Amino acid sequence: MIFKNLIKTGLIKEVPKDILRAKSLIKSSEQALNTARIIPVKEETLKTIFRELYESLRQYCEALGYSKGYKFFNHESITPFLNEILEEKEISLKFDRYRKLRNGINYYGNSIEISTVKEALREIPLLIGKLKKIKNQI
């Protein structure tokens, strides 16, 4: 189990459940999503929109982590949390894809296609919606 190995290596830490922090992250997630939605989609704004969308999804995932008693020390650790703890394989794969695209933009200066940004504008709110249903079950 990858998740347990990440705990052993210290990339994920078991912490007391922190509902206040989770709520704060959810609020930040909503703000980032709203920001991404109001930025006009044009060539010079694509990276900014995509970063905000990814940030929204990441913050929501981190909120779920805190609500279950986990702290992530890198973004990559969120993927096994989604897959193994929440048992959301599809969401974990999509999160990881968006994480890699965002890393390419941030760390390697990669560009991003307008079609990918439009897809993310449609898909990331849906992913967060699915995660909200999980949160309500916690």
Q: What is the C-alpha to C-alpha distance for residues 91 and 66, in angstroms, rounded to an integer? A: 18
The pLDDT of residue 3 is above 90? yes
Q: What is the pLDDT of residue 16?
A: 98
Structure token digits, residue 69: 């008693």
Q: Where are the domains of the chain?
A: 16-137
Tokens 């052993």 — which residue? 8
Q: What is the pLDDT of residue 32?
A: 98
Q: What is the pLDDT of residue 35?
A: 98
Task: Classify burial at 28, counting beta carbons within 10 Å of its beta carbon; exposed 0-12, middle 13-18, buried 19 or more.
Answer: middle
The pLDDT of residue 138 is above 60? no
The pLDDT of residue 137 is above 80? no
pLDDT over 90 for what percent of the chain?
95
User: pLDDT tens digit string along 71-125?
Assistant: 999 999 999 999 999 999 999 999 999 999 999 999 999 999 999 999 999 999 9
Give the mean pLDDT of 31-36.
Answer: 98
Q: What is the C-alpha to C-alpha distance for residues 18 and 3, in angstroms, rounded to an integer? A: 20
What are the E-state strand segments in 48-103?
Answer: 70-72
- List C-alpha distances in Å: 78 to 7, 10, 74, 82: 12, 13, 8, 6
CATH code for residues 16-137? 1.20.120.330
- Rg, C-alpha atoms of the chain: 15
